[in-house]
């Protein structure tokens, strides 16, 4: 009987049993768990003060546990990276700067040569008028056929010799009637080489146009040979004609800080800090106030109008001992404004390249007429 009763008692227990209430389940959990302090929630049920205290303590510890879990997961998903960066500052050599005037030549440099050209033009016009009167006279007569007139030469200077094949000398019997008729309608302007041969003839509708083109041709011929006929380096073409004021790092520039050279298009040009060896041009701090500050002259009062119709200064910033190719790497500075130019050096020292930052322009009030300011600053 006892064995059967034990079997019946065991048979009443199921594999999974559900508690009749949440209180029974909580009491079973608190009595059988290994969590410290949960047994106090059940054993001290007769003392409500102690039960409340242990309940609050359990909830606080349970909340702190999940708070620590939240901190750990948040730090894990943020992927924190520790980076160590060191900055090394040292003085850098300021780059070389080349300035050229867009209106290159002053009238005083070529006034003597242009006076000779004017005298030569007067003689040519006089010969032209005489030749024209001869043509009109020959056209009214039945003149015989003859050979073309002889040509003379007009010498401008020992360096500039031009055959006067533009106009024929006075010879009323040296032209045919047909040539006279054609020449009275069209005027020819030949362009020949130094020996007087290999000529190119161009026709004009009037003698005035021929004279103007002839004058312009010799005018440009004089200007192209200007470095040969005038020693510009010893001439009174000082930097004061272009640079009104020059300061670097608050100190005035010296005469040894720039060199003068002649450009075949832009005339007299000046390069500051060409060699890059003078400690005066060491850049110790970045910023516009520690860079090069220039006030330039861009007036057109004493300039030659046929060579250039613009006013301004051409600027190129380049490395030291580099030939300034102004035709490819230049930018213009307009007169009457302040131009701020930022420079940034990238790459390793000695092989670094210079990059220009965007220039910022702002109006200038109270500046002398014909002058503009340029401020160049280095930025790290």
pLDDT in tens, 46-55: 677 777 887 8
The secondary structure element, H or E, covering residue 108 is: helix 107-140
Taking only the tens place, the pLDDT of each residue in 22-81 is 777 777 777 777 777 666 666 666 677 777 887 888 788 889 999 999 999 888 888 777
pLDDT higher at 120 or 362: 120
pLDDT attached to residue 17: 67
d(CA 108, CA 126): 28
In the chain, what percentage of residues exceed pLDDT 70? 53
> 130: pLDDT confidence band, cut at 50, 70 and 90?
confident
Of 296, 377, 291, 285, nearest to 333 by C-alpha is 296
Q: Beta strands of the chain (E only): which ranges?
A: 92-93, 96-101, 153-155, 161-163, 187-191, 200-204, 243-248, 251-252, 258-263, 267-272, 282-283, 287-297, 313-318, 331-333, 337-346, 353-356, 360-363, 371-379
Of 378, 291, 296, nearest to 100 by C-alpha is 296
Please state the rounded mean pLDDT for residues 350-376: 44
- The answer to whether 372 touches 295, Cβ cutoff 8 Å, is yes
pLDDT higher at 349 or 91: 91
How many residues in the chain? 380
- Give Cα separations from 40 to 24, 28, 53, 203, 287 (angstroms): 15, 13, 10, 123, 73
pLDDT higher at 230 or 361: 230
- The answer to whether 341 touches 374, Cβ cutoff 8 Å, is yes
Q: List % helix, strand, coil for the chain (3-state, nearest 5).
A: 35, 25, 40
The answer on pLDDT for 10 being more than 70 is no
pLDDT attached to residue 8: 47
Of 121, 224, 110, nearest to 167 by C-alpha is 121
Structure tokens at 169: 């000398």
**Could you give the 3-state DSSP secondary structure of residue 20?**
coil
In the chain, what percentage of residues exceed pLDDT 90? 2
Structure tokens at 320: 């030291």
pLDDT higher at 312 or 377: 312
The answer on pLDDT for 109 being more than 50 is yes
- The answer to whether 179 touches 135, Cβ cutoff 8 Å, is no
- Bridge partners (DSSP) listed for residue 295: 245, 373
Hey, which of 165-169, 209-213, 224-228 has the most confident mean pLDDT? 209-213
Please state the rounded mean pLDDT for residues 126-153: 57
Of 306, 243, 311, nearest to 102 by C-alpha is 311
The answer on pLDDT for 151 being more than 50 is no
What does the domain layout of the chain look like in residue ranges?
19-78, 92-105+237-379, 108-228
- The answer to whether 117 touches 222, Cβ cutoff 8 Å, is yes
- Give Cα separations from 119 to 106, 123, 124, 164 (angstroms): 20, 6, 9, 14
pLDDT attached to residue 231: 54
Q: Which residue has the tokens 């546990």?
A: 65
> 379: pLDDT confidence band, cut at 50, 70 and 90?
very low
pLDDT attached to residue 67: 94
The answer on pLDDT for 12 being more than 60 is no
pLDDT higher at 105 or 373: 105
The answer on pLDDT for 344 being more than 60 is yes
State the CATH architecture for 92-105+237-379. Answer: Sandwich (2.60)
pLDDT higher at 11 or 106: 106
298 exposure class (CB count in 10 Å sphere: 0-12, 13-18, 19+)? buried
């Amino acid at each position: 009987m006892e064995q059967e009763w034990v079997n019946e008692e065991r048979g009443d227990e199921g594999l999974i049993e559900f508690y009749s209430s949440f209180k029974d389940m909580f009491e079973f959990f608190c009595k059988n768990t290994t969590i410290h302090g949960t047994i106090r929630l059940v054993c001290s049920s007769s003392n409500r003060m102690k039960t409340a205290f242990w309940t609050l303590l359990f909830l606080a510890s349970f909340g702190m546990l999940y708070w620590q879990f939240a901190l750990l997961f948040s730090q894990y998903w943020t992927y924190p990276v520790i980076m160590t960066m060191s900055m090394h500052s040292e003085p850098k050599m300021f780059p070389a700067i080349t300035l050229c005037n867009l209106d290159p030549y002053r009238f005083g440099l070529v006034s003597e040569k242009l006076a000779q050209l004017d005298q030569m033009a007067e003689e040519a016009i006089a010969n032209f008028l005489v030749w024209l009167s001869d043509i009109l006279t020959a056209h009214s007569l039945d003149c015989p056929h003859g050979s073309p007139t002889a040509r003379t030469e007009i010498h401008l200077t020992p360096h500039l010799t031009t055959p006067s094949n533009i106009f024929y000398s006075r010879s009323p019997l040296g032209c045919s009637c047909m040539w006279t008729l054609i020449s009275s309608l069209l005027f020819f302007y030949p362009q020949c080489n130094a020996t007087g041969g290999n000529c190119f003839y161009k026709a004009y509708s009037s003698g005035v146009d021929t004279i103007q083109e002839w004058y312009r041709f010799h005018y440009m011929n004089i200007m192209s040979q200007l470095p040969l006929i005038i020693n510009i380096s010893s001439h009174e073409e000082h930097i004061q004609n272009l640079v009104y004021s020059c300061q670097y790092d608050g100190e005035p520039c010296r005469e040894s800080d720039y060199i003068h050279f002649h450009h075949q298009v832009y005339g007299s040009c000046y390069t500051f800090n060409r060699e890059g060896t003078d400690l005066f041009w060491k850049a110790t701090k970045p910023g516009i106030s520690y860079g090069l500050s220039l006030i330039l002259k861009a007036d057109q009062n004493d300039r030659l109008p046929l060579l250039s119709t613009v006013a301004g200064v051409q600027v190129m910033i380049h490395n030291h001992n580099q030939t300034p190719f102004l035709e490819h790497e230049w930018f213009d500075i307009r007169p009457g404004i302040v131009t701020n130019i930022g420079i940034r050096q990238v790459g390793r020292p000695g092989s670094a390249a210079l990059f220009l930052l965007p220039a910022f322009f702002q109006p200038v009030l109270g500046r002398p007429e014909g002058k503009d300011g340029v401020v160049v600053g280095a930025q790290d």
